[in-house]
Amino acid sequence: MKSNFVKYIFVIFVVAIMGFAIYQLNKSEEKTVEETTPKAEIEDEEIIKEISLGIAEFDTINPLLSNNKHVQEISKIIFDPLFELDEEYKISKCLVRDWAKTSEVTYLLKLRNDIKWSDGQKFIADDVIFTIDILKQTPSIYAYNVQYVIRADKIDDETLQITLDHEIPFFEYNLIFPIMNKKYYEGQDFNTTEKNNFPIGTGKYKITQNNNEEIILNKNEYYYGDTLTLETIKIGKYTNLGELYNAFKLGKVDLLTTTNIKIQDYIGTIGYNIKEIHGREYDFLAINTQNPVLSKKEVRQAISCAINKENIIASLYNNKYKQTNYPLDYGNWLKGEESTYNYNVEQAKQILEQNGWIFKNNKWQKTENYSTKTISFRLIVQASNQTRLAVAEMIKSNLEEIGIKVSLVKASDNQYQYYLQNKNYDMILTGTTESLSPNLETYFGANNLANYNNEELTSIMNEVKNITKEDLLKEKYTRIRQIYNDEVPYIGLYNSYYAVASSWNLRGNITANWYNIFMDINNWYKN
């Protein structure tokens, strides 16, 4: 008995010693890790403060002269505009510290007095006037922004006045072009000078190297904004998009933007993150609201419910295009509430029946004032645009499935332009490149594509021209959308594809839209 007791004591003693030894060993190892590799150092080693971008078919890094989409995207972090847009396309001040619309055609701008160019020069009003003058004389992609400017007058170094030849609603949205330095280009031919290899800006980064293979950007030490994590951005120059796609696939490029709906055929489906958003191209049906049958809103509502947009996008656009009901549905902060007239065949029939239409002898008909009308019309489409022609065929098929008769007119290019300009159609399939401005005069103003007139809407459109208070502006635009949803003067179809693909190890908030993919670059890094 005593012998067993001694054995138990011995076992307990051995276990205790082993436990203590293990504890001491672990403690020693933890201390060694803490002493040799502090936590802060681990985090620092994981953060890579350099990223790589790419440009295909490079022309020039001067944003006023370049026609390259990638150059224009990258220019957002080198050059600043007077105003900029956020993720919801809401305008905010950038180089401007205050502004006022002083008459229908004049704008007074007060510039920030704490801005310096990347070479240390002070930013002044002369630089803005110089840039406007250049855009008035140069076939730049930004020439449109100033085409109605007739004068830009300096009041003092921090103040200027811009005068237009006629009132432009939301003209401030045009002042988002890059501002260039006047003194830097003095005595130079702006279009041909070698200085275009190293133009200076007021943005987050400056150009420090530009050769045949790449452009290198470093932090602009004179930048007035928040602290930047990334110190260096290398921009490779690629002969074509195929090379750029391959570089991204191989990990040589960290960020890629594309409008290619088959992009995954080139870069695969794994190893990166992708943000898919509405593109700038918007296709829609303009309805002639003066047509005796199409003037009835219930007919337009029913047509809207009968079109299977999802099927069109799946069949023709690789499921990449975005369904769109309204011109501002690309993400604009003033877009309002969604339409209730989406694809629903039974709802389409119900709308017609509730408004006195009868489906008889394979057609919808209604008798009013001893006159019987049937729902049938011509749909105009541009014959040379094969994709839109296929869309029109699908729309015709959708509508005829519920008994609405459609005659498809496949117009030549000249005929199509004639129909469009003279509003000589029942319905036309068309499209536009979306404006960055929330101005809707194209759709609801004088001589609009739908021949549409609504007194309340006209009144609101006149009011919003001079409203700058955000909550009031949103209230007015909410009402515009309500009228649009009910009246259906147009039937929106879809926006084109735009995507931002980023490497798996690129960290930070990639808050992108087609105006700016770098709006949150301040906190980007790699690990």
CATH number, residue 441: 3.10.105.10
* CA separation for the pair 66, 516 (Å, rounded): 17
Query: Are residue 334 and residue 208 in the same domain, yes or no?
Result: no
Q: Mean pLDDT across the chain, nearest whole number?
A: 91
Q: What is the pLDDT of residue 370?
A: 85
pLDDT at 107 over 60: yes
Range with the lowest mean pLDDT among 40-44, 303-307, 431-435? 40-44
CATH number at residue 172: 3.90.76.10
Domain that holds residue 324: 278-498
pTM: 0.87
**Smallest Cα–Cα separation from 351: which of 453, 491, 486?**
486
Query: Are residue 224 and residue 86 in the same domain, yes or no?
Result: no
Query: Are residue 170 and residue 259 in the same domain, yes or no?
Result: no
Q: What is the pLDDT of residue 44?
A: 52
pLDDT at 30 over 90: no
The mean pLDDT value for 250-263 works out to 96
Position 272: which residue type? Y
Residue 391 lies in a domain: yes
The mean pLDDT value for 189-211 works out to 97
pLDDT digits (tens, 9 = 90+) for 134-159: 999 999 999 999 999 999 999 999 99
Query: Are residue 317 and residue 337 in the same domain, yes or no?
Result: yes
Q: What is the pLDDT of residue 6?
A: 37
pLDDT at 402 over 80: yes
Number of domains observed in the structure of the chain = 3
Query: Are residue 377 and residue 464 in the same domain, yes or no?
Result: yes
pLDDT digits (tens, 9 = 90+) for 483-509: 999 999 999 999 999 999 999 999 999
Place of tokens 């729902």: 375
> Contact, 167 vs 105, CB < 8 A?
yes
pLDDT at 229 over 90: yes
Q: Tell me the backbone φ, ψ of residue 420, rounded to 5 degrees.
A: -65, -45
* CA separation for the pair 297, 493 (Å, rounded): 18
Q: Count CB neighbours of 355 within 10 A.
A: 14
> Contact, 374 vs 404, CB < 8 A?
no
Residue 191 lies in a domain: no
> Contact, 80 vs 204, CB < 8 A?
no
